[in-house]
Amino acid sequence: MSRQRILVVTDDAVGERMAGPAIRAWNIAAVLTPEHDVCLASTLRAPDLGPDAAGAAGFEVRDGSGERLRALAAGRDVLVLQGFTLRSHPWLAGLGAHVVVDLYDPIHLEMLEGGADATPAQQTFMLSGGLDALRIQMERGDFFLCASERQRDLWLGHLSALGRVNFAAYRQDVTLRKLIDVAPFGVPDDPAPRRAVPGPLRGGLPGVGAEDRVLLWAGGVYNWFDPVTLVDAVGDLTTGPDALTDVRLVFMGTKHPSVEDLSTVVLRQAVDRAAERGLLDRVVFFREGWVPYAERGRFLADADIGVSTHFLHVETAYSFRTRMLDYLWAGLPIVCSDGDEFARLVAARDLGAVVPTEDRAALAVVLRGLLVDPAARARAAARVRAVAPEYHWSVVLAPLVAYCRDPWRAADGGAHRRPAGRFGAFGARLDTRIDHLKIYADPAARRRLFVDGRWKVILRRELGKVGAALTRPLRRPSRR
């Protein structure tokens, strides 16, 4: 094993407040640091921290926006990339480094929900960009990571369609684990903090009393989630002759740290429903802002049950609800909707309760059962704590750790198969480029695009490159 020079790159904001992609990139850097020289860069926003700076966890943190990324990537042995990074910076694949692509987030399936309210032209623009990002990554990666076996099946289909499942890859490893392996989202190896009195919720959030029973929604509220059914179920629990008047539902944060304005359709619907039923800021609380990553443990410790509800669609089937892992870390019983990878874990290991999607009555029943039975909550919490070590970052990232100890090239060439293409982010087809121009030329369309999804920030960053891409000569990318 030799010590590698590794650059981990995320498109998300890195700092005090982080969302899923940045959290994953941060922990990838942390796990690799004991054996390698690691730098974490954000192409969006990050503080510049040396490895010994407070909060740097032993690795460098750098702002990789604009042209800064070139200097950070120079001379690296391994690049760990995710999201739109390679699409926006295709030159990364030509540096001679081993390229690891993290596919834990099926961005094209998220777009189907995040862009549901866009116009057809905007949807075409959005989805073509997401698919182009996936194509470029899959053509150039030496090694791929995903979050579950179900996701691995999805990505093997994509890789097969692009010719990456071939005789060379098969000769290298008949299981294809050297091409793509599973590395779920994880939880910290260190224990979660214990409940404090007063806490950030009980006694810290106006309207939540010291003895109240707290249901916590720990992640963002995006269009693929179903908070309205949860609000209704909690409303049913807290009204009527058998009301549980001391139950509180708290949405921990509603302002995404990487997006200036993420007011999603379902979030607005949930707030409106809570207001209609007289629950808002009395029983149901939408905490503004985003909890700092280092402080989230205090909020989790101040809750009784972790909750998450979603709709049943293709995004659900292939997702991995990243912030729900924090419920494992904190030892919280979990109540969630059926249909995704995490629901299967909750059901198989009896970590709380799984309910059918959009079933308000069933949700109210299982919540009541846990809320009125402290012993049942304690048993579920004990099982959750027993499962949590299986998801420690040091455990789930084992395939990446093994790769970085002795990195290999993809059997069919990976990053050295051919250039990413002169047209990088926008492809070479004339009709696609004309569609891009139509949207670029329409300020109203640009303003509307992605308003109801986190893709708004990506659009702002990418549209600045449209003019240059459109004026390049049309030609086929060269092949080697």
Residue 258 pLDDT grade (very low, low, confident, very high; cuts 50, 70, 90): low
List the one residue out of 303, 311, 359 whose CA is nearest residue 334.
Answer: 303
pLDDT in tens, 344-391: 999 999 999 999 999 999 999 999 999 999 999 999 999 999 999 999
Structure tokens at 405: 């100890």
Q: What is the CATH number of domain 213-391?
A: 3.40.50.2000
The torsion of the CA quartet 63, 69, 72, 78, rounded to 10 degrees, works out to: 110
User: How many whole angstroms separate alpha carbon 262 and alpha carbon 251?
Assistant: 15
For 260-314, the pLDDT digits (tens) are 444 478 889 999 999 999 999 999 999 887 888 889 999 999 999 999 999 988 8
Res 290: pLDDT: 82
- Tell the residue number behind the tokens 């121009």, with chain if given: 437
User: Please, what's the largest Cα pairwise distance for the chain?
Assistant: 74
Question: Lowest-confidence range among 46-60, 83-97, 455-469?
Answer: 455-469
Average pLDDT, the chain: 86
Bridge-based pairing of strands 247-251 and 284-286 is parallel
pTM of the model: 0.84
The pLDDT value given to residue 439: 54
Cis peptide before 198 (omega within 30 of 0): yes
Closest CA to 404 of 127, 77, 146: 77
Is the model's pLDDT at 416 over the cut of 60? no
Distance, in Å, from the CA atom of 4 to the CA atom of 59, rounded to the nearest integer, reads 13
Q: Annotate 421-471 with DSSP letters as a single string.
A: -TTGGG-S-HHHHHHHHHHHT-HHHHHHTTTTSTHHHHHHHHHTTHHHHHH
pLDDT of 476: 42
- Tell whether the model's pLDDT for residue 204 goes beyond 60: yes
| pLDDT reported for residue 324 | 85
pLDDT grade for 184, boundaries at 50, 70 and 90: very high
pLDDT at 232: 98
* Gap between the Cα atoms of 205 and 201, Å rounded: 5
pLDDT over 70 at 473, yes or no: no
Class of domain 5-186+397-471: alpha beta
Q: Which residue has the higher pLDDT, 401 or 225?
A: 401
Taking 3-state DSSP, the helix, strand and coil percentages for the chain, each rounded to the nearest 5, stand at 45, 15, 45
Residue 424 predicted with pLDDT over 60: no
Q: Compute the average pLDDT of residues 142-163.
A: 97
Provide the pLDDT for residue 331: 97
* Residue 399 scores a pLDDT above 70: yes
5-186+397-471 and 213-391: identical CATH topology: yes
> Above 80 in pLDDT, residue 171?
yes
Q: Calculate mean pLDDT across residues 183-196.
A: 93
Task: Please give the pLDDT value at position 55.
Answer: 64
Q: How confident is the model at residue 230 (pLDDT cuts 50, 70, 90)?
A: very high
pLDDT tens, residue by residue, 14-55: 998 898 899 999 999 999 999 999 999 999 999 998 887 756
Q: Can you tell me the mean pLDDT for 411-418?
A: 67
Calculate the CA dihedral of residues 243, 244, 245, 248 and round it to 10 degrees: -130
Least confident of 54-63, 97-106, 443-452: 443-452
How is the chain split into domains, by residue range? 5-186+397-471, 213-391
pLDDT at 468 over 50: no
Nearest-angstrom CA–CA distance, 231 and 227 = 6
